[in-house]
Amino acid sequence: MKMTFAGAAAAGGALALVAVLGQPAQAVSYDSVKLVVTSASGKAIYLEHHIAKCKSKTNCTQSGKDGTTKTAKYTQTIKVRKDRSVWVSTTALNKHRVRVYVNGKLVRDRNATWQGQDDAGFYISDLYIR
């Protein structure tokens, strides 16, 4: 099966065609958030966080067990550490993808279907990236 991705400008995000086995391709809309920080050694750490948009309101307003606490649709954090690394943490109620670049080199590319990415976060060290 051949998968095709076509980008198109859309309000608040982009449009991509996704093929599912046995089903025709469907348009999936998503939000994109980009963050850039500088590590302790001066390297640029670049985060791309792509989050699928909600198909229904219930997917966007998930509450805690007691029904009083609402969870944000998505969050992303980069914390710069003194040891030449950064802590990247992302969450989303929907499917999401995280890409991390160090000085233009892709060092992490992960998909998640729900909530925390890699148990809510991961370290990226720039020690061995030139």
Q: Say if residue 47's pLDDT is above 80.
A: yes
Q: Say if residue 24's pLDDT is above 50.
A: no
Rounded to an integer, the average pLDDT of 48-58 is 71
pLDDT value at position 18? Answer: 38
Domain spans, the chain: 30-125
pLDDT value at position 1? Answer: 36
Q: Which CATH class is domain 30-125?
A: mainly beta
pLDDT value at position 5? Answer: 31
The whole-model pTM stands at: 0.60
Between 81 and 20, where is the model more confident?
Answer: 81
Rounded to an integer, the average pLDDT of 20-49 is 73
Written as one string, the DSSP assignment of 54-104 is PSSHHHH--B-TTS--BPPSEEEEEEE-TTSEEEEEEEESS-EEEEEEETT
